[in-house]
């Protein structure tokens, strides 16, 4: 089963599985295909995280998050123009996606590398534009793309947004993919493609250089594991904040039987908001690249810490984020993005999230490559006390430093259950894009299934709520909560704001008790799950 945000990409992955490819083979092929058909988030010029489970039950975590160029420092954006961390050359971090896909294939791949890249080359020569892609052209995206002639020439052909049924051709990207097909990761990080990326940086005052590209490495890390409702959850460790934050949420909320509460009733949403308020307070202050900063992961992920944080939650009133501070020091003293979920016929699985950061990243295509470059530098703490694009006010631990990986919210996750002897059985593969909402979205899907017994399709489609400590408010998808629940939450002291648009794009695969697979693509963006 392959679940992605785009039918063409899902078809590419399903074809690989039909040929006997491993889940990783399918993920590699899908990753390259999404760089073509899902340009707002799929990418060669971005980064991501990948969890892979072998048929024998071994789980590995691959960190191919972007890094700050060697010439970057903590004061990079202090005197820079507004939005320099989001738009244009200075926003670009060292891309990790191509190296990550090559690293995953080198360790787990079965089919030849060239076979996995070739479908993306065919798509880059021309594919039919669908409604999902057209919807990605928000007004601010179009304005950003128009600022760079190299971007507008590709994504605004003849000066306009493509229409459904048009053919989008990306010949430069096809040639770049051809070099990757023939030379592996060196076809991107060295040689002609690297030269053109560096030339683009020099033209626009960017910092990315040849040594940054050639020296980039993807890192295998031990996955983060924790228990919830009798299951084992496996998620991404740092440099992603996703797994640690998810563990904090789970341990706080384990103090209540959520399944006994009316689903999305006042008490249920109140508890979610209060738990998330505390988890994000710790996330924003303490988490960062573990190769640069000492992070108290053992404390933050301890069940006892979650129970300690839960003690301060009152059921009869909302907390105030101004009063909810990071708790790990006190406890120790006291004692736009896209996601792919794949399960193959042997029991192997991949949960894979990749991003340019915001839609279409920096909006900048490196001239002659067809490669949209990321704006991941905005995920660092660029200015103290100033929120980033997603409204997160982050701490000093996440300051820019040369070679440092910026904090991420990406949360590719697997849920395991079953017997205690031997590898635990795979139950669910899940993840989503959505910036700061990623962790709460993943938690809600898992909790909908484990706490409330909701089937996977309904669990993914269900309305979502969100709280991230600052700004101090509960966000609700359009029409997501009953009027009386909103009224009662406000009576408790919560600010409740209904968003104009839904968020997230969950891709999930569930292994049922009888061994059959259920794939679900989020209806919010029209993705497709394909079974083989």
3-state secondary structure of 67: strand
Chain centre distance of CA 229: 24
Cα 180 to Cα 66: distance, rounded to the nearest angstrom: 19
* Contact criterion met (CB below 8 Å) for 105 and 146: no
- The owner of tokens 């996750």 is 413
Cα 463 to Cα 318: distance, rounded to the nearest angstrom: 21
- The owner of tokens 């968003």 is 499
* Contact criterion met (CB below 8 Å) for 208 and 69: yes
* Contact criterion met (CB below 8 Å) for 326 and 396: no
Closest C-alpha among 5, 63, 43 to residue 340: 5
Burial class (CB within 10 angstroms; exposed 0-12, middle 13-18, buried 19+) of 520: buried
Cα 272 to Cα 282: distance, rounded to the nearest angstrom: 16
Which pair of tokens denotes residue 47?
Answer: 């980064």
- The owner of tokens 């209904």 is 498
Sheet containing strand 425-431, edge to edge, reads: 224-228, 231-235, 413-417, 425-431, 507-511, 517-521
Exposure on the CB side of residue 140, measured as CA atoms within 13 A: 8
* Contact criterion met (CB below 8 Å) for 332 and 296: yes
The catalytic residue positions are 337
3-state secondary structure of 460: helix
- Which ranges in 69-170 belong to alpha helices (H)? 97-108, 113-124, 131-135, 139-146, 149-155
3-state secondary structure of 101: helix
Cβ neighbours, 10 Å, residue 79 = 7
Chain centre distance of CA 442: 10
Cα 455 to Cα 445: distance, rounded to the nearest angstrom: 10
Q: Give the 3-state DSSP-derived string for 246-277, with helices as H, strands as E and coil as C.
A: HHHHHHHHCCCCHHHCCCCCHHHHHHHHHHHH
Pairing, β 59-64 against β 47-53: antiparallel
Which pair of tokens denotes residue 295?
Answer: 């992070």
Closest C-alpha among 388, 364, 435 to residue 83: 388
* Contact criterion met (CB below 8 Å) for 477 and 464: yes
């Amino acid at each position: 089963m392959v679940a992605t945000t785009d039918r063409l990409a899902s078809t590419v992955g399903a074809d690989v599985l039909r040929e006997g490819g491993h889940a990783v083979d399918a993920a590699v092929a899908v990753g390259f295909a999404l760089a073509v058909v899902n340009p707002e988030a799929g990418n060669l010029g971005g980064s991501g995280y990948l969890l892979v489970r072998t048929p024998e039950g071994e789980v590995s975590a691959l960190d191919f998050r972007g890094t700050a160029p060697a010439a970057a420092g903590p004061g990079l954006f202090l005197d820079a123009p507004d939005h320099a961390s989001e738009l244009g050359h200075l926003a670009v971090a060292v891309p990790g996606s191509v190296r990550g896909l090559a690293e995953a294939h080198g360790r787990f791949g079965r089919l030849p590398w060239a076979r996995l890249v070739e479908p993306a080359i065919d798509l880059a020569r021309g594919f039919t534009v669908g409604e999902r892609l057209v919807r990605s052209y928000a007004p601010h995206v179009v304005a950003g793309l128009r600022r760079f002639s190299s971007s507008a020439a590709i994504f605004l052909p003849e000066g306009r947004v493509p229409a459904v049924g048009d053919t989008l051709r990306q010949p430069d990207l096809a040639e770049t993919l051809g070099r990757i097909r023939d030379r592996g990761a060196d076809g991107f990080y060295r040689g002609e493609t690297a030269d053109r990326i560096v030339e683009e940086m020099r033209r626009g005052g960017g910092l990315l250089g040849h040594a940054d590209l050639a020296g980039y490495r993807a890192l295998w890390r031990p996955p983060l594991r924790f228990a919830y409702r009798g299951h084992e959850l496996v998620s991404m460790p740092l440099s992603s904040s996703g797994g640690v934050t998810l563990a904090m949420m789970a341990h706080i909320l384990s103090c209540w039987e959520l399944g006994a509460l009316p689903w999305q009733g006042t008490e249920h949403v109140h508890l979610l908001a209060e738990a998330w308020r505390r988890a994000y307070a710790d996330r924003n202050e303490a988490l960062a690249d573990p190769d640069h900063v000492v992070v108290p992961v053992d404390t933050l992920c301890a069940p006892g810490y979650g129970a300690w944080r839960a003690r301060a939650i009152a059921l009869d009133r909302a907390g105030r984020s101004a009063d909810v501070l990071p708790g790990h020091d006190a406890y120790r003293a006291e004692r736009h993005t896209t996601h792919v979920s794949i399960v193959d016929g042997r029991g192997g699985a991949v949960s894979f999230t990749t991003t340019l950061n915001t839609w279409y990243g920096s909006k900048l295509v490196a001239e002659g490559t067809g490669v949209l470059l990321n704006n991941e530098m905005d995920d660092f703490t660029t200015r103290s006390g100033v929120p980033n694009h997603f409204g997160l006010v982050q701490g000093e631990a996440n300051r820019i430093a040369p070679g440092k990986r910026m904090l991420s919210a990406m949360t590719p996750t697997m849920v395991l259950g079953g017997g205690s002897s031997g590898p635990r059985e795979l139950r669910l593969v899940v993840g989503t894009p959505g910036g700061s909402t990623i962790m709460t979205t993943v938690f809600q899907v898992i909790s909908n299934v484990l706490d409330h017994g909701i089937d996977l399709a309904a669990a993914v489609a269900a309305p979502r709520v969100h709280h991230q400590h600052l700004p101090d408010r509960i966000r609700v998808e359009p029409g997501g909560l009953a009027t009386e629940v909103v009224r009662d939450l406000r009576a408790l002291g919560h600010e409740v704001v209904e968003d104009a648009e839904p968020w997230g794009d969950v891709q999930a695969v569930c292994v049922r008790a009888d061994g059959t697979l259920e794939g679900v693509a989020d209806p919010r963006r029209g993705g497709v799950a394909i079974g083989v």
